[in-house]
Structure 1
Amino acid sequence: MQPKQDWTIHPDQLRHQRPALSVEVAETLSEALARRDESIDCLVAGFEISGGTAVELLDQSTTDRPDPPVVLAVAASDGTVPVEAVSEPFADVVPVTDSDESAAELAGAVAAVIPETNDPEIAGVPFPDARSMNDWKATLFDQFFTGIPQHMFVKDECGRHVVVSESAISHRIHRRSDEYLGRRDIDGVVPDAEAREPYEDDISVIETGEPIHNKEEYYAESGRWFLTSKDRWEDETRGTRGLLGVAQEITDRKERERQLRIVTHLVRHNLRNQLNVISGRAEYLIDNPGAAPEAGQCILDAALGLIEQLDKQQTILKIMVGEPEVRPVDLGEVVRSEVEALSRQYPAASIEADIEDGVVGSATDNVNHAITELLENAISHSSRSTPHVDVSVRIVDGEARIRVVDECPAIPEFEVEVLTGQRTVDQLSHSTGLGLWITQWVVTHADGAVSFDRATDGNAVTVTIPTAEWGG
């Protein structure tokens, strides 16, 4: 992004110690080129010119007389000049600040280029003086810290926050931006159990100058992950001042990685089991041609189970690819629709629905998959020939709740712990299927929660989703 070209050469900069110089200012490149005639003895330009650059000014030649020399004036606040300044044949290159010394150097350079002329005239074009450049940098810094939706911060040499981004976002690690100012991480900005390591990282960066790039940090109290980078803050006059940093939330990414590990584990385990059944029964039939038909039925059941697993994998891919929008959803209508569909699919099952009118939740279009999996699990895992399931939809304590009560064997505790993140996926040895995973993923993506409890004769699974209003 180029800074706004509103700087001009002040005539006093060129008249300084050279009162005989006559100065005229051209505001644009085209204006300077149009006025480059026999009355012009020297051109003074900054590198960036409204409508082009000083290189273009230098390259535009005339045919009726020699081109006037061009003196390039460049802002020198950071000690650097454009590479073109030394690779192009400018008559002179003068680093400029807002000091009197720079003004004298610029006027002296012009005099050196045309020393035999008593009363030269100079056409100047806009260029960034140091003061204007500093104002531009300050404006840019302010906009960067107020407009970019990231948690960015500047800390002093003791690790105290002196600047914190003010963008209106929910990605703050723990607090509002103004609650950070003047405080270190160990001063209550971060919970005590989690503050020591980031604070020690601050001090290490400040003392050693070794940056930290893309460090994954987990804050257990809030259950959030951040990718953090820090570098030492220095200036030319005072040396080390502190550090600069940015923390980008990656909680969704880490949760997606965890869920992918769960799915991979479950699919591998379930597919292996089903294939072992198929291969074992097939070998039995080969060795026993006259065997009872139960072996063939077992193969068929296993094959149908594999087809079901593949269907669920397709559902999972649909859910995990992309970021479906969270919007108001009539949860009662969704549950009614799924109950009707499953009642037709499982005519022997009894599904009793208690649905409160007007329960609107903030959910995604995938919420129907979560309801289907809960109800279907309750039917397919029932130990009774006529499964019975109770499902209710209502507002409880200001939240939308869907509760499914079955008559199935207890869901293994360790599987619940894996689904809720209390146990690693490596500890999972088997599963009731992918249905609960689908439910968990869909609900948590909508900032909801799933809880698992025991009922009188089975399990009670409760889905809690934030309420919403139509059009909100």
Structure 2
Amino acid sequence: MDEHDTPEGGEATRYRHLVRHIRDAVVEFELVDGEPIVREVNEAFVDDFGYERAALRDEPLNRLIVPEWKRDEARELDERTATGEVNYRRVTRETASGLREFLYRGVPYEDGTVRTDGFAVYTDLTDITQHQRRLRVLNRVLRHNLRNEANVVIGNAARLAGQLDDADDEAGESAAAIREAASRLERLTREAGDIVRVLSRANPAASDESVDCVRLARSVVRSHAQSSPTADIELEGPDAMWVSANERLELALDSLVDNAIEHNPAETPRVGVVVAADDADGWVRLRVKDDGPIIPEAERAVVTGDAEITPIQHASGLGLWLVRLTADAFGGELLFSTSEWGGNAVDVRLPEA
């Protein structure tokens, strides 16, 4: 009987197939006097680290890929492996093309002899990490500078408008246009800051947090009723409804109500905030509806992911992106439909707590 016909042989075949085709770099090693010695690597390891397979086999793993100044850290991980502990750590490793950052998982196992063997799995995080750093820098610098410059423009436009002769209609209109554009720019920086706050947690949906979304909705309605007294804002829902989210959900609700008022040219914009159990068990639906102009289909498609973002096709502001990213962060989704008033109905569907 062939070894692959035995249960053990079949399991080994499946394991080899998995390791061979998994995209993460995997190295199988044997601990010899506490030192991991390479016994086998998959193709992804060869690709990511840039070393030939023949040059890796039976060589000390740390001398090949651990920078000299990181050897103490590597020895600490190896000692944990020798005791049978699984390791998870973000590490810097040396490849043929230089240093790169990886998520390292060290998984030990014993083969029934006195040997302790293990697997080291490396997921390359370099591009993601560098991208995150660039975004953080751009966010901090751009938001700060744009907000400051927008405030300067708004202040000077207001002063200019006050000094212009009432008869100079064209100049007055130009000053008003400058002021409105600067206000929109300042609003974009605020929305960008809200997005950063929503995304500041790695995975809020994985936590045990919950929040009463009716309380948040009530707070949003009360705030906009004071800031926009000409708008007709109403709230429908139970006394309380708990969802798997946190206080940052209020930013998304606030943005939806703000958009519904801001983009409605009517003298008395009508806005409704509805909190209700969804048709699907275990879900809650937060709806903001209005009687204003319909959000363009192309803009909705970009935000929902049904269309690609292009220089021509993109959402005009960050408000809907804030809502979409908030829904994603809390394990929900964003939906668009038409309200019974002929305007927009924007739903955020979230897991019930």
TM-score range normalised by the length of the shorter chain = 0.5 to 0.7
C-alpha separation between the residues in 1 aligned to 2:17 and 2:184? 58
State yes or no: 1:291 paired with 2:168: yes
**1:312 aligned residue:** 191
State yes or no: 1:333 paired with 2:212: no
Deviation at 1:429, TM superposition (A): 5.1
After TM superposition, the structure 1 = structure 2 runs for residues 8-407 of structure 1, keeping only pairs within 5 Å, are: 181=15, 184=18, 201=44, 245-247=121-123, 291-292=168-169, 293-321=172-200, 323=202, 327-396=209-278, 397=280, 398-407=282-291
After TM superposition, the structure 1 = structure 2 runs for residues 441-460 of structure 1, keeping only pairs within 5 Å, are: 441-455=325-339, 457-460=342-345
Letter in 2 for 1:184: L
Residue in structure 1 matching 2:302, options 401, 409, 418: 418
Task: Note closer, same or farther for the CA distance 1:185–1:254 as it changes in structure 2 (3 Å cut).
Answer: farther
C-alpha separation between the residues in 2 aligned to 1:260 and 1:343? 35
SS of aligned partner of 1:363? coil
State yes or no: 1:438 paired with 2:322: yes
* 2:157 and 2:176 in contact (8 A); partners too: no
SS of aligned partner of 2:244? strand
**1:152 aligned residue:** none
C-alpha separation between the residues in 1 aligned to 2:55 and 2:239? 62
C-alpha separation between the residues in 2 aligned to 1:283 and 1:346? 26
Residue in structure 1 matching 2:347, options 462, 467, 471: 462
* 2:256 and 2:288 in contact (8 A); partners too: yes
* 2:302 and 2:314 in contact (8 A); partners too: no
Deviation at 1:184, TM superposition (A): 3.4
Deviation at 1:313, TM superposition (A): 3.6
| Structure 2: runs of 5 or more not aligned | 1-9, 24-41, 57-63, 66-90, 93-101, 106-116
**2:113 aligned residue:** none
SS of aligned partner of 1:401? strand
Letter in 2 for 1:370: A
Task: Note closer, same or farther for the CA distance 1:247–1:308 as it changes in structure 2 (3 Å cut).
Answer: closer
Deviation at 1:348, TM superposition (A): 1.3
| Structure 1: runs of 5 or more not aligned | 1-159, 163-179, 191-198, 215-226, 231-240
Letter in 1 for 2:329: H
Deviation at 1:299, TM superposition (A): 3.0
Deviation at 1:335, TM superposition (A): 0.6
Deviations 1:101-135 (A, max 9, x none): xxxxxxxxxxxxxxxxxxxxxxxxxxxxxxxxxxx
* 1:274 and 1:306 in contact (8 A); partners too: no
SS of aligned partner of 1:394? strand
Task: Note closer, same or farther for the CA distance 1:244–1:373 as it changes in structure 2 (3 Å cut).
Answer: same
* 2:298 and 2:313 in contact (8 A); partners too: no
* Seq. identity, %: 24
Letter in 2 for 1:462: D
Deviation at 1:278, TM superposition (A): 11
Deviations 1:141-167 (A, max 9, x none): xxxxxxxxxxxxxxxxxxx985xxxxx
* 2:299 and 2:315 in contact (8 A); partners too: yes
C-alpha separation between the residues in 2 aligned to 1:258 and 1:411? 32
C-alpha separation between the residues in 1 aligned to 2:225 and 2:161? 38
Deviation at 1:329, TM superposition (A): 0.2
Deviations 1:320-359 (A, max 9, x none): 4455666110011111111111111111111222113442
C-alpha separation between the residues in 2 aligned to 1:229 and 1:201? 14
Task: Note closer, same or farther for the CA distance 1:260–1:380 as it changes in structure 2 (3 Å cut).
Answer: farther
Task: Note closer, same or farther for the CA distance 1:352–1:260 as it changes in structure 2 (3 Å cut).
Answer: farther
C-alpha separation between the residues in 1 aligned to 2:292 and 2:262? 9
C-alpha separation between the residues in 1 aligned to 2:184 and 2:241? 35
SS of aligned partner of 2:236? strand
Deviations 1:78-121 (A, max 9, x none): xxxxxxxxxxxxxxxxxxxxxxxxxxxxxxxxxxxxxxxxxxxx
Deviation at 1:182, TM superposition (A): 6.9
Task: Note closer, same or farther for the CA distance 1:311–1:326 as it changes in structure 2 (3 Å cut).
Answer: farther
C-alpha separation between the residues in 2 aligned to 1:412 and 1:338? 25
* 1:278 and 1:298 in contact (8 A); partners too: no
C-alpha separation between the residues in 1 aligned to 2:307 and 2:55? 38
Task: Note closer, same or farther for the CA distance 1:285–1:378 as it changes in structure 2 (3 Å cut).
Answer: closer
Letter in 2 for 1:344: Q
Letter in 1 for 2:210: P
* 1:274 and 1:305 in contact (8 A); partners too: no
* 1:415 and 1:431 in contact (8 A); partners too: yes
**1:131 aligned residue:** none
**2:33 aligned residue:** none
* 1:262 and 1:425 in contact (8 A); partners too: no
**1:91 aligned residue:** none
